[in-house]
């Protein structure tokens, strides 16, 4: 796959995603009327649009020959790798924290108060939809699309480093609705891309994606925002040391994983 094609597929996925949302929401609004409670409507629409967009790509442009029995066999996966995925997940969050905090860091050095105004949601139904979308749908759908589909095809015609970078940019672009998340998703995409390139197993990527999202969701729902977890907004030496620690444990985890995987190739 060419680089241009990879970006076009990403745009197409975004178009499918948006079109499905509009196809659900507009008829309800103009033919039935706006509901009193949007929780179910928005929750279902978000899930259906993401899955629907992927399925359209799957059936019309990908059509892979999946061996699901082989993919689900526990014997094909190295348990040591799963043990170190949480280490990488924590490392990624420490690395990405300054990028999530970028606006707060600017305010801090300008002498502006950086008090966190985050308020967690008490809507249990909305939380259920969020958990389904964030912990189940996103890891599976996004890893299949960006790693199994895009990265695999890019590797056929491009050098590994270029293929991983391009697929990571595409992964980042789809999170453009949260600008402070563009760099973190790019960095995460690089790590996920390397893991996929070294292991050729999407299962590891799905699990790491799940772990990262789980930590963020957990902190969000115990009254701590994803920006303010662990060490808050004290941008002192300890804050930046945590960034360095994140790099170190991520590198160590990646080294162990790529070494451990040689036994299962």
Among 63-67, 105-109, 150-154, 158-162, the minimum mean pLDDT is found in 63-67
- 26 burial class (0-12, 13-18, 19+ CB within 10 angstroms)? exposed
- Whether 163 is covered by a domain: the verdict is yes
Residue 234 has pLDDT above 70, yes or no: no
- Whether 240 is covered by a domain: the verdict is yes
Phi, psi at 37, each rounded to 5°: -125, 120
Residue 68 has pLDDT above 70, yes or no: no
Give me the pLDDT at residue 86, please.
93
Give residue-wise pLDDT tens across range 78-123. 888 888 899 999 999 999 888 888 777 777 777 776 555 544 555 6
Largest CA distance in the chain: 59
Give me the pLDDT at residue 235, please.
73
Range 188-195 average pLDDT:
96
Give residue-wise pLDDT tens across range 132-157. 999 999 999 999 999 999 999 999 99
- Whether 149 is covered by a domain: the verdict is yes
- Whether 53 is covered by a domain: the verdict is no
Domain that holds residue 218: 67-264
The distance from CA 132 to its chain's CA centroid, rounded to whole angstroms, is: 14
- Whether 186 is covered by a domain: the verdict is yes
Query: In 3-state terms, what secondary structure has residue 23?
Result: helix
For residue 119, what are the CA distances in angstroms to 124, 142, 147, 187, 226? Answer: 14, 28, 34, 27, 11
CB of 155 closer than 8 Å to CB of 194? no
- Whether 130 is covered by a domain: the verdict is yes
Give residue-wise pLDDT tens across range 3-29. 999 999 999 999 999 999 999 988 887
Q: Which of 85, 101, 83 is nearest to 242 (CA)?
A: 101
- Whether 56 is covered by a domain: the verdict is no
- Whether 204 is covered by a domain: the verdict is yes
Phi, psi at 174, each rounded to 5°: -70, -5
* Number of domains making up the chain: 1
């Amino acid at each position: 796959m060419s680089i241009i094609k990879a970006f076009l597929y990403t745009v197409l996925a975004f178009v499918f995603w948006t079109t499905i949302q509009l196809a659900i929401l507009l008829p309800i609004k103009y033919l039935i009327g706006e509901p009193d409670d949007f929780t179910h409507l928005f929750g279902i629409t978000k899930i259906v649009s993401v899955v629907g967009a992927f399925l359209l790509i799957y059936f019309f442009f990908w059509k892979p020959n999946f061996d699901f029995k082989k993919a689900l066999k526990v014997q094909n996966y190295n348990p040591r790798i799963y043990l170190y995925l949480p280490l990488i997940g924590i490392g990624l969050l420490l690395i990405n924290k300054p990028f999530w905090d970028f606006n707060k860091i600017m305010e801090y050095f300008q002498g502006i108060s950086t008090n966190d105004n985050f308020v967690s949601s008490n809507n249990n139904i909305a939380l259920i939809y969020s958990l389904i979308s964030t912990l189940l749908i996103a890891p599976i759908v996004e890893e299949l699309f960006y790693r199994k589909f895009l990265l695999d095809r890019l590797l056929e015609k491009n050098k590994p480093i270029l293929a991983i970078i391009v697929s990571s940019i595409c992964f980042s672009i789809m999170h453009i609705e949260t600008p402070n998340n563009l760099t973190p998703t790019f960095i995460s995409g690089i790590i996920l891309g390397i893991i996929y390139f070294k292991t050729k197993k999407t299962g590891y990527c799905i699990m790491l994606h799940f772990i990262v999202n789980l930590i963020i969701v957990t902190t969000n729902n115990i009254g701590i925002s994803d920006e303010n977890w662990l060490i808050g907004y004290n941008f002192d030496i300890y804050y930046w040391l945590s960034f360095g620690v994140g790099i170190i444990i991520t590198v160590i985890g990646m080294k162990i994983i790529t070494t451990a995987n040689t036994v299962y190739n």
